[in-house]
């Protein structure tokens, strides 16, 4: 029989959880149980690979210390990794005993959190141990407390060796019916390989760079291949141009939402209409697509849009007034 201990505290000398784990390890060793302890704080850069160590264990002890609130970051990261990269089939056959010691309030809530998390993973939680320790020396000297710890270790041994069954819980039902988080269908071997990649900082950094490069490449292709949705305005202006000989004037329309301005270049009665830039501009017009479409539909004139403030303009205002003469948009013509 083998039991793995996962300690989620900070490893400080006066941590009561360490004393409890040492005591339990002594009892389990006397019962000829192989015990291996993993101090999660020593595996900060490779927590994602720790769930793979559960594969050869018959049972696990999840131990942490409540120093101010909850089970702590290390233990939470370990449980997250179990959810993302752990072998769910193996976890479903593994007993877990929670050990939570507290130097403040909240040990029972933390114990319940560990049991709920393991049940959600599909594992087999069993009776745990939690307690509040105000003075570590007094706690260590108390024989009654030592006896309780020893009994809990023996209880874990009996539970695993006898493969004790338990009644179904609502957590298992919720996991099966509700908590169906979208995940990739990976084999245990693929999950193990993925967890190793995730723990490799250089690999993760390179993957992020590759993804950014691909995103930039496809963004450029989309921008290149996507036609300008304002091209219809070019046709509208060209089809409604009335012409005026001996007139040289340039208009530039800045249309809200368009990446490029619309240029209307009139030279000797000829119109050139395109999106882009031009060297010389007589009148700058700023307008929204809604107002421009109303003008094209004949429901409004350029002059009226300017006077009501729905269109703004800068430049030669005499030239601005000529817009309604150069481009005749009427409902009859439409």
Q: List the chain domain ranges.
A: 2-199, 231-326
Q: Give 79-104 pLDDT, tens digit per residue.
A: 999 999 999 999 999 999 999 999 99
Instruction: Quickly list DSSP for 80-137.
Output: HHHHHHS-HHHHTT-EEEEEEEESSS-HHHHHHHHHHHHHHTT-EE---EEEE-S-HH
198 vs 140 pLDDT, higher one? 140
Q: Is 321 helix (H, G, I), strand (E, B) or coil?
A: helix
Query: What is the reported pLDDT for 176?
Result: 60
| Domain 231-326 listed as CATH 3.40.50.300 | no
Q: Is residue 220's pLDDT more than 50?
A: yes
- What residues have CB less than 8 Å from 281, skipping those under 6 apart? 250, 251, 252, 315
* CA angle, residues 321, 326, 330, in degrees to nearest 5: 95
Going by pLDDT thresholds of 50, 70 and 90, the confidence category of residue 332 is very low
- The rounded distance, in Å, linking the Cα atoms of 139 and 132 is 10
The mean pLDDT value for 118-135 works out to 94
Distance (Å, whole) CA 211 – CA 216: 9
CATH 3.40.50.360 fits 2-199, yes or no: yes
Judged by DSSP in three states, 166 sits in: coil
The pLDDT value recorded for residue 64 is 97
* Cβ atoms of residues 301 and 324 within 8 Å: yes
- Nearest Cα to Cα of residue 273 among 299, 245, 240: 240
Mean pLDDT for 198-226 is 70
**Over the stretch 154-200, which tens digit does the pLDDT of each residue have?**
999 999 999 998 887 776 666 665 555 555 566 777 676 777 766 76
User: What's the mean pLDDT in 241-253?
Assistant: 86
In contact, 128 and 150? CB cutoff 8 Å: no
Average pLDDT over residues 45-62: 94
Percent residues over pLDDT 90 in the chain: 61
Cα(108)–Cα(173) distance, integer angstroms: 23
d(CA 319, CA 249): 8
Nearest to 236 by CA among 139, 328, 130: 328
Angle at 159 between CA 115 and CA 189, to 5 degrees: 65
Strand 262-267: give its sheet, edge to edge.
Answer: 270-275, 262-267, 248-255, 283-287, 312-315
Q: pLDDT, tens digit, for every residue of 279-289?
A: 889 999 999 99
Q: How far is CA 208 from CA 99, 205, 214, 215, 250, in A?
A: 38, 5, 10, 10, 47
CA 94 to centroid of chain Cα atoms? 30
Contact 120, 86 (CB under 8 A): no
Quick check: 23 and 150 in contact, CB under 8 A?
yes
| Torsions phi, psi for 97 (to 5 deg) | -115, 120
Higher pLDDT, 230 or 51: 51
Q: Which helix (H) or strand (E) holds 284?
A: strand 283-287
């Amino acid at each position: 029989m083998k039991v793995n201990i996962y300690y989620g505290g900070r490893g400080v000398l006066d941590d009561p959880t360490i004393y409890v784990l040492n005591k339990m390890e002594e009892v389990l060793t006397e019962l000829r149980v192989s015990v291996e302890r993993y101090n999660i704080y020593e595996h900060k850069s490779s927590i994602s690979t720790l769930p793979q160590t559960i594969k050869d264990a018959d049972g696990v002890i999840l131990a942490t210390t409540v120093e101010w609130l909850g089970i702590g970051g290390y233990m939470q990261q370990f449980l997250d990794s179990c959810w993302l990269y752990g072998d769910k089939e193996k976890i479903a056959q593994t007993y877990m005993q929670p050990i939570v010691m507290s130097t403040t309030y909240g040990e029972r809530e933390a114990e319940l959190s560990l049991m709920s998390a393991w049940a959600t993973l599909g594992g087999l939680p069993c009776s745990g141990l939690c307690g509040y320790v105000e003075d570590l020396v007094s706690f260590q000297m108390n024989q009654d407390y030592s006896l309780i710890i020893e009994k809990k270790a023996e209880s874990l041994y009996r539970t695993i060796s006898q493969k004790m069954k338990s009644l179904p819980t609502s957590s298992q039902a919720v996991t099966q019916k509700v908590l169906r988080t979208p995940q990739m269908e990976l084999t245990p071997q693929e999950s193990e390989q993925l967890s190793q990649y995730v723990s490799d900082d250089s690999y993760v950094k390179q993957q992020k760079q590759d993804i950014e490069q691909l995103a930039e490449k496809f963004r450029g292709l989309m921008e290149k291949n996507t036609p300008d949705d304002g091209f219809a305005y070019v046709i509208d202006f060209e089809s409604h141009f009335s012409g005026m000989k001996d007139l040289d004037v340039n208009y530039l329309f800045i249309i809200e939402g368009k990446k490029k301005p619309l240029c209307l270049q009139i030279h000797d009665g000829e119109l050139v209409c395109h999106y882009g830039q031009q060297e010389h501009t007589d009148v700058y017009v700023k307008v929204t697509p809604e107002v421009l479409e109303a003008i094209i539909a004949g429901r409004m004139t350029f002059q009226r849009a300017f006077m009501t403030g729905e269109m703004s303009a800068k430049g030669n205002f005499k030239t601005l007034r000529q817009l309604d003469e150069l481009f005749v948009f009427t409902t009859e013509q439409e």
